[in-house]
Amino acid sequence: MKSFFVFKRKQRNGIIGLLLVIIIIQVLYFTVEFSNEKIYDVFSEEIVLLQQKTDSLKQISSAEHLIKYSFNPNYIDDHRGYTLGMSVEEIDRLHRYRASGKWVNSAEDFQRVTGVSDSLLSEIKPLFKFPEWVNSSSKQRSYATTFSKEKSFSQKKNLNTATAEELREIRGVGEVLSKRIISYREHLKGFIIDEQLYDVYGLESSVVQNIMKEYTVKETPVIEKININTASASDLSTLPFISFQLAKEIVDYRILHNGFTDLEQLKNVKGFPVSKYDRFTLYLTLD
């Protein structure tokens, strides 16, 4: 046992040194704070500034900021259109129209091209800002129309017999649009009212007015109206500007409300094009 407790001088010095090191480490452990909170404190101000910047960027991208200021509706992109409440189909219609090289020059043009509802148009049209030349040219057209002598019904030609060559004589109607008018007329089996020209794809309202100065519907075609209370979704989808999805919505509404008692109820159907109500009901009956 003596060998375990009797040390040489060098061994005693080593043991004493080791004990001192242990004591110093223990003292440091219990007295010195090694927390990294101070490190975070150094960067806390920068972190707060970075967070504030991130929040401001989020606010800029929010819907409220996007629709707060006036804008030219010709340049609505997918994100802005979505925040305005437009559907994907409505946004795509505007993009296709612009891709053809044409411009929307009024709120009415915007609704005709996109097919947005009256309620949505009333919300967003105060934000529309068109170039000054559009407003001035509109005033000039209005002034010219006021003082120009309009042709009487008897002086106008029959819109339902006009040829593509005759239509090309109208200002703003080229080869493509003249063929498109004829094709749409054949699809309808004849125009019932002049205003159906507004439904021809790519035909601007100013060009429609030019056509209506020279042409009008003189002989109304015989149309077999569809009974909205008995028609299937497939039957309804054959009508102008009515998709199969909208036809299903009409049938579902009819089932839910035990039939239609008034065609005005169509305006309550989800997605129904209220702006085209008068033209749509030309093909419907309740009996």
CA distances from 100 to 43, 84, 217 (A): 54, 23, 29
Superfamily of segment(s) 226-285: AF1531-like domain (1.10.150.280)
Check residues 65 and 20 and name the one with the higher pLDDT: 20
> Quick check: 145 pLDDT over 60?
no
What's the CATH number of domain 149-216, 3.90.1150.10, 1.10.150.320, 3.40.50.300, 3.40.50.2000? 1.10.150.320
Query: Of the candidates 241, 187, 181, 180, which has an alpha carbon nearest to the alpha carbon of residue 215?
Result: 181
Q: Which two tokens stand for residue 67?
A: 């629709």
**What is the pLDDT, as a whole number, of residue 143?**
44
The three-point CA angle 216-219-220 to 5° equals 100
CB atoms under 10 Å from CB of 105, counted, come to 20
**What is the pLDDT, as a whole number, of residue 268?**
92
99: confidence class by pLDDT, cuts 50, 70, 90: confident
Beta strands in 75-228 (DSSP E): 157-158, 215-216, 226-227
> Quick check: 219 pLDDT over 50?
yes
Phi-psi region of 190 (alpha: psi -120 to 50; beta: other; left: phi over 0): left
Q: What's the CA gap between 217 and 165, in Å, rounded?
A: 18
Average pLDDT over every residue of 1-8: 62
**What is the pLDDT, as a whole number, of residue 12?**
76
**What is the pLDDT, as a whole number, of residue 252?**
94
Close Cβ partners of 17 (under 8 Å, ≥ 6 residues apart): none
Within this chain, domains 149-216 and 226-285 share the same CATH topology: yes
The three-point CA angle 169-173-176 to 5° equals 120
Q: Which two tokens stand for residue 107?
A: 């709120």
136: confidence class by pLDDT, cuts 50, 70, 90: low
**What is the pLDDT, as a whole number, of residue 82?**
84
Residue 56: strand, helix, or coil: helix
Q: How many residues does the chain have?
A: 287
> Quick check: 6 pLDDT over 70?
no
Q: What's the CA gap between 277 and 283, in Å, rounded?
A: 11
Average pLDDT over every residue of 248-267: 92
The residue ranges of every structural domain in the chain are 7-31, 68-133, 149-216, 226-285
Average pLDDT over every residue of 41-60: 62
Average pLDDT over every residue of 213-226: 89
Close Cβ partners of 206 (under 8 Å, ≥ 6 residues apart): 105, 141, 172
